[in-house]
């Protein structure tokens, strides 16, 4: 049997105030798909950045061997020259360049400093066929979906004669169809002899695509398992990730019993919104729904159903062109034309895109938490730093945000901890209604449970919660009622007692036009 293609021995990586990796060992066999899983902050991405030269040799302790040779990569280009290519969760593509230009960016087909566009387009077409992309190579990356952009990244890796492909949460932003296509491609690359390392929180994906799985927890290697072995169960992987059994994936919840005479905390009537560019197209079409205090109401739908468009348009009309509809709070019509108006009426929106719209990644935990309600920590228009720090410290402890201090930049936190900061920010504003858009996307099972517990507690305190999610088990586990959407319209309303994945999917795939 051939020796390992990759060995990482006793890797230690320290950042100021935090030991991210502590004596981590990883062994990958040639031609396999090797999964790495663990909670957010377990050290998965940091380990791959050590391997790929993002964290250069000398900035960490330990030894990296690739194809039997000791490697001392000084930067990412050095690792790519050995055939190690990493595709980060945040795609490194230039949106206004073409697919072909992106594939060969920094690796151009050129002679005497002049790019040969004929060679570029010919080779780009060949690589695109290999990954299943049927677009024209001169199509702008901005004009294709996220699923296809992932394929462009893989074609870009193949152009560098990749031997070891590292994919960091490759399906986190993809729908089920695009995720399936990407998994199929990884398996096809395996058949072509390419070794892959995949970081994923989706245990069903790991079961389908991986040969081995290494579990990290708190910066340490817990164990490496053969995915196909009978003893490798989902429960064992979860236990390794979180260090405890999760007998229940969701907090135990007593279904909400609304008061007979109480008006809904939030009611939306006949809400219609047009696409911001194509004004003939309705992205939200005559939608009416309601949520009462103490209730968690879900919204389910496939990609393009209009869930996020509905949420953003209600919250300050931040998406699309408003056509008609009213918003009522506690039975009285309110104006939500702007975000400040919506916030003033006690409505908060936790966006699905926390990095772009939910947080200032360069600022601290403390500043991010206070942003939604600066007036609460200000005196005569000046922010009281002591009060801001005290508030942030309270949330750091109550939300279990893993950071040494509240002065830590949010950009350095793991995805799960960033999401806790977003939730803290809006909880601090003291809303009556929280609209949560994919609140656990890209977060491990342990952090998910903590966020579910926070959401459940908010409902118990009398908050009204609208919960948008692409994960049907999540909606079934958390919600009192679930609305379904398709093509911008409501297609069903299902009480908790009647909700199953099959029932929801049946409603999500029908169109009431």
| Nearest to 87, CA basis, from 186, 10, 2, 3 | 186
pLDDT reported for residue 245? 55
Please report which confidence band the pLDDT of residue 78 belongs to, taking 50, 70 and 90 as the band edges: very high
pLDDT exceeds 60 at position 512? no
Assess whether pLDDT exceeds 90 at residue 501: no
Q: Which CATH class is domain 266-346+431-508?
A: alpha beta
Q: Which residue has the higher pLDDT, 414 or 248?
A: 414
The residues, ordered by sequence, that sit 6+ positions from 247 with a Cβ below 8 Å of its Cβ are none
Where in the sequence of the chain do the CATH 3.40.50.300 domains occur?
6-242, 266-346+431-508
- Cα–Cα–Cα angle for 374, 352, 341, rounded to 5 degrees: 40
CA 239 to chain centre: 22
* Whether 71 contacts 64, CB under 8 Å: yes
> Do residues 123 and 147 lie in contact, with contact meaning Cβ atoms separated by under 8 Å?
no
Q: Is the pLDDT of residue 145 over 70?
A: yes
**Residues 74-86, buried b or exposed e (16+ Cβ, 10 A)?**
eebebbbeebbbb
Helix boundaries (H) for 284-374: 307-314, 339-344, 365-370
The residues, any chain, with a CB within 8 Å of residue 58's CB and separated by 6 or more, are: 72
**Cα–Cα distance between 305 and 300 in angstroms, integer?**
9
Instruction: Please report the pLDDT score of residue 311 as a whole number.
Output: 94
On whether the CB atoms of residues 278 and 321 are closer than 8 A, the answer is: no
Token pair, residue 220, equals 């340490």
* Structure token pair of residue 49: 């950045």
The predicted pLDDT at position 10 comes to 95
Residue 49 has pLDDT above 70, yes or no: yes
Using CA of residue 441, residue 446, residue 451, residue 456, what is the dihedral sign? positive
d(CA 394, CA 463): 20
- Predicted local confidence at residue 513, as pLDDT: 47
pLDDT score at 258: 64
Enter the CATH code of domain 6-242: 3.40.50.300
Q: In which order are the strands placed within the sheet that holds 266-274?
A: 282-291, 266-274, 321-329, 332-334
**Percentage with pLDDT > 70 across the chain:** 96
- Between 506 and 434, the higher pLDDT residue: 434
Beta bridge partners of 334: 327
498 CB neighbour count, 10 Å cutoff: 9
Length of the chain: 513
Q: Which two tokens stand for residue 336?
A: 């939500």
Tens-place pLDDT, residues 362-419? 999 999 999 888 888 888 888 889 999 999 999 898 888 888 899 999 988 877 788 8
Per-residue confidence band for 244, with pLDDT thresholds at 50, 70 and 90: low
Alpha-carbon Rg for the chain in angstroms = 24
Q: Do the bridges between strand 114-115 and strand 110-111 make them parallel or antiparallel, or are there none, so unpaired? A: antiparallel
Residue 501, Ramachandran bin (φ over 0: left; ψ between -120 and 50: alpha; else beta): alpha
Are the CB atoms for 374 and 381 separated by under 8 Å? no
Start-end of H helices in 160-279: 176-191, 203-209, 234-242
Please state whether beta strands 266-274 and 321-329 pair in parallel, antiparallel, or not at all (unpaired): antiparallel
How far apart, in whole angstroms, are the C-alpha atoms of residue 131 and residue 185? 7
Strand 382-383 with 481-486, pairing: unpaired
pLDDT digits (tens, 9 = 90+) for 88-112: 877 789 999 999 999 998 888 777 7
* Largest distance between two CA atoms of the chain: 79
Query: Which one is predicted more confidently, 242 or 502?
Result: 502
pLDDT digits (tens, 9 = 90+) for 442-485: 777 777 888 899 899 999 999 999 999 988 888 999 999 999 99
pLDDT exceeds cutoff 70 at 256: no
Measured CA distances, 30 to 4, 11, 45, 66, 67 (Å)? 6, 21, 21, 10, 9
What pLDDT, in 10s, does the model give residues 303-359? Answer: 778 999 999 999 999 888 999 999 999 999 999 999 999 999 999 999 887 877 788
**For 33-39, what is the mean pLDDT?**
90
pLDDT, tens digit, 9 for 90 and up, residues 167-184? 988 887 676 778 888 899
């Amino acid at each position: 049997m051939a020796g390992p293609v990759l060995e990482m021995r006793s890797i230690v990586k320290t950042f100021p105030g935090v030991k991210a990796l502590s004596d981590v060992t990883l062994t990958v066999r040639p031609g396999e798909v090797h999964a790495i899983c663990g909670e957010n902050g377990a050290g998965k991405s940091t380990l791959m950045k050590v391997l790929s030269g993002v964290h250069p040799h000398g900035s960490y302790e330990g030894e990296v061997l690739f194809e039997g040779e000791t490697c001392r990569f000084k930067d990412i280009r050095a690792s790519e020259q050995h055939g190690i290519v990493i595709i980060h969760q945040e795609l490194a593509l230039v949106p206004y360049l073409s697919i072909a230009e992106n594939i060969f960016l920094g690796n151009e087909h050129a002679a005497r400093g002049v790019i040969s566009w004929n060679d570029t387009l010919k080779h780009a077409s060949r690589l695109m066929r290999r990954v299943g992309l049927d677009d024209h190579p001169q199509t702008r990356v901005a004009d294709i979906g996220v699923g296809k952009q992932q394929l462009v990244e893989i074609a870009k890796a193949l152009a560098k004669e990749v031997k070891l492909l590292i994919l960091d949460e490759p399906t986190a932003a993809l729908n089920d169809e695009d995720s399936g296509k990407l998994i199929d491609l990884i398996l096809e690359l395996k058949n072509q002899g390419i070794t892959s390392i995949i970081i994923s929180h989706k245990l069903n994906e790991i079961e389908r695509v991986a040969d081995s799985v290494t579990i990290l927890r708190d910066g340490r290697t817990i164990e490496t398992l053969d995915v196909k072995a009978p003893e490798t169960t989902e429960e064992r992987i979860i236990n390794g990730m979180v260090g405890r059994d999760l007998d229940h994936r969701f907090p135990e919840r007593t279904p909400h019993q609304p008061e007979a005479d109480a008006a809904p905390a939030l009611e939306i009537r006949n809400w219609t919104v047009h696409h911001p560019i194509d004004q003939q197209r309705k992205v939200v079409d005559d939608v009416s729904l309601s949520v009462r205090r103490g209730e968690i109401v879900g919204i389910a739908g496939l990609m393009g159903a209009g869930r996020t468009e509905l949420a953003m348009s209600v919250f300050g009309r931040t998406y699309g062109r408003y056509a008609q509809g009213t918003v009522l709070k506690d039975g009285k019509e309110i104006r939500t034309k702007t975000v400040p108006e919506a916030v003033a009426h006690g409505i908060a929106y936790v966006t699905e895109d926390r990095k772009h719209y939910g947080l200032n990644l360069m600022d601290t935990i403390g500043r991010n938490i206070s942003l939604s309600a600066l007036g609460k920590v200000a005196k005569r228009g000046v922010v009281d730093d002591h009060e801001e720090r005290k508030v942030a410290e309270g949330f750091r402890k109550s939300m279990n945000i893993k950071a040494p201090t509240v002065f830590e930049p949010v950009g350095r936190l793991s995805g799960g901890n960033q999401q806790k900061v977003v939730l803290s920010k809006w909880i601090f504003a003291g809303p009556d209604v929280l609209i949560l858009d994919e609140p656990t996307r890209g977060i491990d099972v342990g952090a998910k449970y903590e966020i579910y517990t926070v959401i459940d507690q908010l409902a118990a305190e009398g908050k009204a919660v609208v919960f948008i999610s692409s994960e049907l088990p999540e909606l079934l586990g958390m919600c009192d009622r679930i609305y379904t959407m398709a093509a911008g319209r409501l297609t069903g309303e299902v009480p908790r007692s009647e909700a199953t994945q099959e029932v929801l999917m049946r409603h999500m795939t029908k169109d009431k036009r």
